[in-house]
Structure 1
Amino acid sequence: MMPSRLFVLAALASLTVLAPSAVLRAESPAATDTEAGFVSLFDGQSLSGWKANENVESWKVEDGQLVCAGPRSHLFYVGDQAPLKNFHFKADVKTTPGSNAGIYFHTRYQDSGWPKFGYECQVNISHHDPKKTSSLYAVKNVANPPVKDNQWYTQEIIVQGKHIVLKVNGETLVDYTEPDNKQPESDQFTRRLDQGTFALQAHDPDSKVYFKNLRVKKLP
């Protein structure tokens, strides 16, 4: 009978060792990750990988969030993933009443002014500008986004070839295919696909907007 008792004790000991690791695996983000292939663009602690142009003081990191509040400034992504051409981008966004911001893509760093290159995905629930959240600014505009101020929502930007899709909380609000022969709109704005990076916008001193969980997946 002694060998069988030793076998039982050994089996119980092995369960005791394995159980904690099994629990850890169950609680691990990797085990429940439904966003395979996405890479984080923001570490939640600093502006590492990002570069503000004018009015750097308009950007702060608070409680794992990027916060814009102050005079006009654009925060450009300058990390390892840039430049990007085809991609799926996601960010969690929260506006405060009367605020305006934006997410530029296929853009390039510039020292000042409104970004000339690429497109802007609008961030605006209740600002007076009639182009609201998830508008492809001045190209395909949204008037009534299904979100409210002071509530987090997930903004998605998907670019593949000439095709742009903008989603809020999984709902497609813009589906746009750029014409093959599209020319730059003006000397001030191109609003044309090429390749480039992202830029977050601090629009004005009366606007305060929060961003977190910025991530991207490159597409073929």
Structure 2
Amino acid sequence: MHYPSIRIKLLSTLICAFLFCFQLNAEEGWVSLFDGESMDGWVQMNGTVTYAVEEGSIVGTSLRGDSPMSFLCTEKQYSDFELEFEVKLFDKELNSGVQIRSLPKETKRKGAKYGPIAGPQIEITANKNGGPTPSGYVYGQGWDGWITSKEARVPHRHFRLGEWNRYRVVAKGPKIVSYLNGVLITETMVPSDRHTTQPKGHIGLQVHSLKEAPRPFRVAWKNIRIKEL
């Protein structure tokens, strides 16, 4: 009888079972925010930019218009979480971002259901001259400017124009940590007064419109998922 070979096969089976359980445990708690086919669970809260599902991604197309920016937001609000997504910026002229814990302000604009969006934004932009960018740093959309300090906002080359870029964002308490293509970009703190009054909010896909545009500019997102902490 070949006992050694039996023991080797048993050990191999146990290792495979362990790795499978480890993978399942690692994936536990993650929820997809985009099914690749529809925008169910999302609502456009501002602007005239168009959003559409194309080839398994959400594509925001910015046309010439007087609306400064648009936001496609999750219907659900989130507090502490880990967020992952991939984004492709097709045009260096277009500025974009992903809002977290964001809420619409009150609006007095006739016919408008939502006011301007306010909250932390994870920056998505390419340098117009092909150089370093501030992508991944945290901006206070509708607040008082950048949340990541000026000293910490060192331009980098980790964002790739015209390619898929993977972001990972961890928001726990007032602390926000962001990674871009596996590289830690920033660890920053939301001012205590801001976090206390707005500890949760929507996830939003932000696109600027352009007053002068020779053609439509586009940005796309896919593999958007979240794990609440």
Residue 71 (structure 2) aligned to one of 53, 71, 74: 74
Name structure 2 gaps, 5 residues minimum: 1-19, 64-68, 106-112, 140-145
| CA shift in 2, pair 1:177/1:73, >3 Å | closer
Instruction: Give the aligned partner of residue 148 of structure 1.
Output: 160
Match of 2:223 among 207, 213, 216: 213
2:205 aligned to which of 196, 200, 205: 200
How far the C-alpha of 1:112 sits from its partner, in A, is 5.3
Q: Is the 8 A contact 2:104 2:116 kept in 1?
A: no
Q: Pick from 134, 137, 146 the counterpart of residue 136 of structure 2.
A: 134
- Asked if the contact 1:142–1:173 (Cα under 8 Å) also holds between the matched residues in 2, the reply is no
C-alpha distance after superposition, 1:162-203 (max 9, x if no partner):
2110111221101012343x4x5xxxxx99751111111121
Q: Is the 8 A contact 2:127 2:133 kept in 1?
A: no
Pair 158,211 (structure 1): closer, same or farther in 2 beyond 3 Å: same
Residue 157 of structure 2 corresponds to residue 157 of structure 1: no
Matching of residue 59 in structure 1 with residue 71 in structure 2: no
Deviation string for 1:27-58 (max 9, x for gaps)?
xx999665332100011111110001344661
Aligned length: 181
The sequence identity of aligned pairs, in percent, is 25
Letter in 1 for 2:124: V
SS at match of 2:86: strand
Q: Which has the higher strand share?
A: 2
Q: Is the 8 A contact 1:67 1:211 kept in 2?
A: yes
Q: Find the aligned partners of 1:191 and 1:148 in 2 and give their Cα distance.
A: 35
TM-score when scaled to structure 2?
Answer: 0.68
Question: Using a 3 Å threshold, how does the CA distance of structure 1 residues 195 and 54 change in structure 2: closer, same or farther?
Answer: closer
RMSD: 3.1
Moved more, 196-205 or 39-48: 196-205
